[in-house]
Structure 1
Amino acid sequence: MHSQSSRRPNRRSALKTMVAAASAPLFVSPRVFGNNAPSNTITLGHIGVGIHGVQRNLNGFLNQSDCRPVVVCDVMKSRAIEACRLVNEHFDDTCCDVTYDFREVLSRDDVDAVVISTPDHWHVPMSLMALEAGKHTFCEKPTLTIREGQELVAAVKRSGKVFGTGLEDRSVTEYFRIAELVRNGVIGTLQHIEVGLPVKPVFPIEQPAPVPDDLDFNLWIGPAPMRAYTPKLTTAQCWRQIRDFSGGSLTDWGSHLIDTAQVANFSENTTPISVTGEGQIPENAINSVPHTFDLGYTYANGVTMHVKSDVPSIRLEGSDGWIGNRGWCGELTASDPKFLEARFDPGLSRIWPQPRIEHRDFLDALKSGDSTMYDAESLHRLSTVMHLGSIAMELNRPLRWNPQAESFDDADANALRSRPRRDWS
């Protein structure tokens, strides 16, 4: 597959050439040039530069002064070329390369970390390959299956590399504040959580069409089962409603609001112990995951959670009152407005300090060696909560779950913890 990276030297080799040609020493203390010296710059390879990959992640990292994308990649050539143009325009040079096969990104020795912004079915397989290649990894949420989450956690531990999740909620003031107030007992003992997730579009069945010249369709499908190309298949809202690629609104929006519920309940590293659920899959549509749903969860501490199709919303109910919001980043409301005025001594608060945005958090972790605010374990446990609901809906019966053993009390449910992967190579 053609790559512009083969036509000119990469950034690191160019820097080495300049150093060799000069009489300067091979190592210069960062104190000479400051924190943004080339030796302190983290080099990135961006894989997947669609709408979210550019607007959220590429722009998010471009806003940080101590990193630089050196290569961008997408199976849609026009997207990769446009993302490369944006990077070069940002730095006013031509040092960013473009490729259409993510394996070329992983093979480069001038890439310190990769940023994966692909459809969900590629998140873990691509992360596993990146970690195996020795790359620190920043990857979008969620996982596709419970087994994939287990594989990811194990791979990160083996690699010794930093893993960060492309999820912002713990750094968003409204959601951090909700968790902070609840964990510090403002509403008394937490008893129940209500979560609303938006209803996504229904896509009518389409007839197969020729694959555009711009698209490597085999690589887009990747480990998922092969299917015919249709015109809307690769658009973000369409593939999210197809089971082979994603879990619909439950795993997309659920990654945001259910995470706040998990944190508020001190459950960020565990899961519920039981689940019930029902969902409706549209007829005569491309959609193959529930379009609307109603789920009930119970945690080991007795807290219950109700997740349903609604506007994005969360409400946490305790023995002394409630707190929550409606709409993404909506204004906080409470049964007693004075709840919202509570302040806590940082040394006594029962939650960590509010993290910085996920891109900054990832870069800081690379430099400090600390964990990111969403490490592999956090992503796995959060995704598992949503997968439990999907499996309960698919089997249409209540299920018991053991968070320690990561298994159901139901053989059919256990079989749905994993899926086969297609040989796409």
Structure 2
Amino acid sequence: MTQSAASRRQFLKTSAAAAAGLAVAPAFIPSTAFGANERIVTGHIGLGGQGRGNLGKFVKNAVAICDVDSKHAQQAAKIVKDKAGTECEIYGDYRKVLDRKDIDAVVISTPDHWHALPTIHACEAGKDVYCEKPLTLTVVEGRKIVDAARSNKRIVQTGSQQRSSSNFRKACELVRSGYLGKLQQVLVGIPGPNHPGEPDPISEPPAELDFDFWLGPAPKRPYVKNHVHYHFRFFWDYSGGQMTNWGAHHIDIAHWGMGVDDSGPLSVDGKATFHPKGWHDVTETCRITYVYPNDVTMILGQGQKDIPGGTTFIGEKGKIFVNRGKFVATPDEIGKIELTSSDVHLYDSNHHHNNFLDCIKSRELPICDAEIGHRTATACHLGNISCRLGRKITWDAKSEKIVGDDSEATALISRPYRSPWELT
């Protein structure tokens, strides 16, 4: 997919990141002067379920596979061999992938606590990055990633692929063009945790898993089988539950429709329930009220009957509900509106992974640039912080600080890293 000149011009006009002066395409020739048919060479870090899914989109580009679980790595290398007919080198340490001069970009599909360091190190090594959502584990990590992308003139695409689906773009364009009248409220619905149940007993990790490297910067913990791989997302050390899993998708669309990709909420007030036996430590249910500029309220609900899964925009003249494969406008006529040249036309991408490859060649910002991924993840993190504290917090999106003398909340926008790992 190659973006039209018109869509590129419109993106520069409408992108919130561009409005903040951060989205200026770097005026330089990339290390590889890509021709129209020249292959972009990729390395892949993290090859669990989502990692193998992403690998399938870049299978003809892949030359290197890295995972701390050797079984995952071997499965991924076999996918490349079977589908592309080529051999991949296998690594257990992502830094060895970054050392390779022939690799142009890396695809990071690790657990959330392993997003920031490989992304930053890749930027410093001159690699472009496709990183799964949520972009970060903490707010502070996000700003570090954006800074690394900008200072090293790297393309960083966040894996919030709903932005590259036409139904989500249509919904946001109608909202941004004013067809709902003044936007009043946005509803975001996320599912409950499909957690692994009662914890498995503490045991020795399997031979194929380098568990200490899997933990990385996270606190030292004993190995529990159903706390790793897919289930990592239900434990605070490594993730933020469905808030950072599905919330990162649906809040991303809410932000796009509200036009706040370069900012964030003014306040966040969340209430939540947690597992009564402590089988996981992320929210079981929650209801979080975010207040944004221009008197727009976003309510995120988990296990709330009045909030459907997906994103619902509510304005003076009607509402639009959008989710994967779904678009419902009320009244129906709103959904039939054809946009005119004077309406808002948002960044037009119809393939998230190809958009990344296109931007590596053009050096234009991708549809879900690091700044956008960071701001979406920040809203998720603030929701979790409010729920964990059980009270309202006030946020200054410009300075990215919690307002007031709130040391307890402020401490939660970052986390200490376990030695020898450092976030610098």
TM-score tier (shorter): 0.7 to 0.9
* Structure-2 change in CA distance of 1:286 and 1:130 (3 Å): farther
Q: Which runs of 4+ in 1 moved over 4 A?
A: none
Match of 2:260 among 263, 267, 276: 267
Which residue does the alignment assign to 2:214?
Answer: 220
**Larger Rg belongs to:** 1
Q: Which amino acid aligns with 2:50?
A: H
CA contact (8 A) 1:233 1:239 kept: yes
1:253 shift after superposition: 0.2
Kindly report which structure 2 residues correspond to 1:359-370, keeping only aligned pairs within 5 A, or say none. Answer: 359-370=353-364
For residues 252-294 of structure 1, the C-alpha deviation after alignment (integer angstroms, 9 at most, x for no partner) is: 1011111111111111111010110011110323311112111
Which residue does the alignment assign to 1:186?
Answer: 179
Which residue does the alignment assign to 2:28?
Answer: none
Q: Aligned with 1:213: secondary structure?
A: coil
Q: Which amino acid aligns with 1:121?
A: H
Alpha-carbon distance in 1 for matches of 2:86, 2:190: 43
Which residue does the alignment assign to 1:422?
Answer: 418
Match of 1:356 among 347, 350, 356: 350
Which residue does the alignment assign to 2:122?
Answer: 130
Which residue does the alignment assign to 1:12?
Answer: none
* Structure-2 change in CA distance of 1:186 and 1:53 (3 Å): same
For residues 66-119 of structure 1, the C-alpha deviation after alignment (integer angstroms, 9 at most, x for no partner) is: x6101111111111111111112222243x211222121111111111110000
Q: Which has the higher contact order (CA 8 A, sep 6+)?
A: 2
Which residue does the alignment assign to 1:16?
Answer: none
Which residue does the alignment assign to 1:339?
Answer: 334
Does residue 385 (structure 1) correspond to residue 379 (structure 2)? The answer is yes
* Structure-2 change in CA distance of 1:331 and 1:163 (3 Å): closer
CA contact (8 A) 1:196 1:309 kept: yes
Alpha-carbon distance in 2 for matches of 1:269, 1:93: 41
Match of 2:287 among 281, 290, 294: 294
Match of 1:240 among 229, 233, 240: 233
Which residue does the alignment assign to 1:119?
Answer: 111
Unaligned segments of structure 1, at least 5 residues: 1-28
1:417 shift after superposition: 1.1
1:58 shift after superposition: 0.6
Kindly report which structure 2 residues correspond to 1:245-260, keeping only aligned pairs within 5 A, or say none. Answer: 245-260=238-253
Which residue does the alignment assign to 2:155?
Answer: 162
Q: Which amino acid aligns with 2:105?
A: A
Kindly report which structure 2 residues correspond to 1:141-180, keeping only aligned pairs within 5 A, or say none. Answer: 141-142=133-134, 143-180=136-173
What percent identity do the matched residue pairs reach?
A: 36
CA contact (8 A) 1:178 1:264 kept: yes
Does residue 80 (structure 1) correspond to residue 73 (structure 2)? The answer is yes
TM-score by length of 2: 0.87
Match of 1:329 among 324, 332, 346: 324
Alpha-carbon distance in 2 for matches of 1:285, 1:330: 35
Unaligned segments of structure 2, at least 5 residues: 1-32
CA contact (8 A) 2:185 2:296 kept: yes
* Structure-2 change in CA distance of 1:93 and 1:353 (3 Å): closer
CA contact (8 A) 2:48 2:229 kept: no
Alpha-carbon distance in 2 for matches of 1:218, 1:339: 54
CA contact (8 A) 2:71 2:208 kept: yes
1:334 shift after superposition: 2.1
Number of aligned residues: 381
TM-score by length of 1: 0.86
1:35 shift after superposition: 3.5
Q: Aligned with 2:249: secondary structure?
A: helix
Residue range with higher mean Cα deviation, 173-182 or 335-344: 173-182
